[in-house]
Structure 1
Amino acid sequence: MSSTSSLDSIGWDPHKQVVMAAVTIFGSVLWFSGNALLALIVVIIVLLPFPWILVRFPTLQRKFLFHSWYYKADKPLDNPLLWGVQDGISQPIGALGCWYVANTCKCVPTCSCLCDTVVVYCHGSSGSRGNQYRVDLVNYLASLGCAVYSFDYRGYADSPGESSQVNSIQDARQVLAFARAEHPDKRVVLYGHSMGTGVVCQTAYQLIQEDAAVDAVILEAPFLSIPDCVLKSPTLRFVNSLPIYKDFVWQFSDLFVTKDVIGDLKNVLILFAEDDEVIAPHHATELHTLCPASTLHLISEGGHNFLIQQGSVKKAIEEHLKRNDPPLQ
């Protein structure tokens, strides 16, 4: 497993941010003062008002949950080759920055590759479509014969606008509609990672209500809901008991509540690693239980971002994409 630092794992879990901040503050004050009690008091004074401030400032809330600000581009995103995307081109969709990897299959109609499949990839909460593990996934899907669209939500990278749940779902739908218009005779699959699994499930559910279901869904490192991620995390049991933190968390009670919609989806593959450092494994197992038409592929190692490096995960993705299930309706 790669030891490459992960932007998603740095940013997704609010508790991890609080713990890192507390340790940093405590260590700094202790170093300069030599007084552990003083260091503890400073940590409490600094951190306890934190959720109160976020509750009252929506802009800060969005930055806390949608880490579009955690992005550094050392190469232009309009040249996917510089990022390691093989055979990719820049394909803006409206105002959204997007890469497209075309299917180059020259096989006959009965070939065994996935030249009849288009994948729309929805990434996690921070960085951009240029994160290395995202590039690795796009290249793998393309190697199977799929056409792939990988885009950035509004507010991320080169996609202007404001990040929000509503906007990210609208963005996914916009890219999906474009893909369907360009490939009217192909199967369309939604693939989401981390926060992107919330985007994918809400998008797929909406399309079912409109009788326009996609053909398959793949969820990598999914979660039940944002409050379930935070309140049930063992990282800060004491802090979770404080009313001010509970009030803060439930401000987002309707944010990406995958557990309420996944039961209506079919042809779903759930990918999860037991050593995920961001989301607990019970999220994957509970979602699998809630969705009878799902397949759970649980592995021991892969972390939050590097499942695609595991051979069994690649095989599970290929097998799932080759299933001839009907659309999600």
Structure 2
Amino acid sequence: MKFSRFLLWTMKVSICIYIFLFGLLPLVFRYSYQVQKKILFLNFVHWPVGVDITKPETVGMKGTRNFYLTTDENVKIGAWQILPQSLMNQTIPDNEEAYEALLKNASRPVFLYMHGNSGNRASSHRVELYQLFQRLDFHVICFDYRSYGDSDNVDLSEMGVVHDSKFVLEWLIKIVNNSAPIFVWGHSLGTGVSSHVLAILASNGINPAGLFLESPFNNLADEITEHPFAQVFKHLPWFHWIIVQPLYDNELRFESDKHIGKIQCPVMILHAEDDNVVPFSLGEKLFIAAKALHVDDMQRIQMTRINASYGLGHKYICRYKDLPRIIENFVTQSTAGEKI
């Protein structure tokens, strides 16, 4: 008798879980724009925990200042300026004006970093990449989109984060004023942001020296479909209608495979075969699309495939032993012509 009751209870619980997972939860996702944005941007995931991001030195960043920009939409953006190694061997500036003067008179390449979802500019894998840039003697600007880190907590959207990023890049172009080449580096969701930004600027004749796309996807629809969390749902007949279509309808698209056709600067795609967040196949699709859209100048589009044996996954291409050489070679090739 007890076993029968237990079996009945187990069946009821299983049915409830099934209804929740395959009925209620998908419907909530389809009809709630707020839920869609939360799951896509993960801006509520605050890590690292207990770190004061206004003090970059607490995460090991030397020669770095914290500062803020206010966009033309009146959104405050938190950012860091990181000095190249050669300038750290001199006296570190003690005020914002002195830091900015070093950027205005930059003689080494300047990198603008656009991060992926969750966390903030102080997240550990991002800090590892900044430190690599610093060792390579590059200036670095990194920042948090709206609703990330200590940037203003305002409504998120694709165009919102694109606008923030475009504003920061335009500010950087104005500050550097042709003294040094500017490169944009996007990671994960940041590849969708950076591709969109550069496509918009290219239409106005503004092009950085080059674009690095680390662990990119070709478009959000394919990324959602291929994401590990979607595998249990993707073969169900309602998947596209409930999960993919609402994002598209709400203009959460990040269609890098379209935007990349408008980008006029050299592009380097970096992707690890063992990426379990953005499958390698999506980076390859983006590469193929880019080559097809730039058929008259295909050599500007490059891709580096990183063997799974290195175990770098989605976040740690910064540890790839050949990455410094790849970056330096690409920078040299891209700056053979004119600066931005």
TM-score range with shorter-chain normalisation? Answer: 0.7 to 0.9
Provide, for residues 154-203 of structure 1, a one-character-per-residue CA deviation record: whole Å limited to 9, x for no partner. Answer: 00110012222111111111111221122112211110000000001001
Q: Is the 8 A contact 2:215 2:283 kept in 1?
A: yes
State the distance in 2 between where 1:321 and 1:134 align: 20
Q: Where do 5+ consecutive residues of structure 2 fail to align?
A: 71-75, 90-105, 292-299
Q: Is the 8 A contact 1:51 1:244 kept in 2?
A: no
Which among 168, 173, 183 is matched to residue 166 of structure 2?
173
TM-score by length of 2: 0.79
Q: Is the 8 A contact 1:154 1:171 kept in 2?
A: yes
The reply on whether 1:99 has 2:106 as its aligned counterpart is no
Match of 2:206 in 1: 212
TM-score by length of 1: 0.82
Within 5 Å, give how 1:164-243 maps onto structure 2.
Answer: 164-184=157-177, 185-233=179-227, 236=230, 239-243=233-237
Q: Where do 5+ consecutive residues of structure 1 fail to align?
A: 1-31, 108-113
Q: Is the 8 A contact 1:124 1:193 kept in 2?
A: yes
Which among 53, 67, 71 is matched to residue 42 of structure 2?
67
The reply on whether 1:148 has 2:135 as its aligned counterpart is no
Report the alpha carbon displacement of residue 102 of structure 1 after superposing the two structures with TM: 2.7
Which among 27, 34, 40 is matched to residue 14 of structure 2?
40
Closer, same or farther in 2 for the Cα pair 1:74/1:232, shift >3 Å? closer
Give the aligned residue type for 2:165: A
Instruction: Please tell me whether Structure 1 or Structure 2 has the larger radius of gyration of its CA atoms.
Output: 2
Q: Is the 8 A contact 1:115 1:146 kept in 2?
A: no
The reply on whether 1:135 has 2:111 as its aligned counterpart is no
* C-alpha RMSD over aligned residues: 2.4
Which among 251, 255, 258 is matched to residue 257 of structure 1?
255
Report the alpha carbon displacement of residue 232 of structure 1 after superposing the two structures with TM: 4.1
| Identity of matched residues, % | 24
Closer, same or farther in 2 for the Cα pair 1:37/1:201, shift >3 Å? same
Match of 1:305 in 2: 315
State the distance in 1 between where 2:279 and 2:268 align: 18
Which among 59, 64, 74 is matched to residue 83 of structure 1?
59
Report the alpha carbon displacement of residue 118 of structure 1 after superposing the two structures with TM: 1.1
Closer, same or farther in 2 for the Cα pair 1:197/1:236, shift >3 Å? closer
State the distance in 2 between where 1:243 and 1:310 align: 40
Instruction: Kindly tell me the number of residue pairs found equivalent between the two proteins.
Output: 292
Report the alpha carbon displacement of residue 315 of structure 1 after superposing the two structures with TM: 2.0
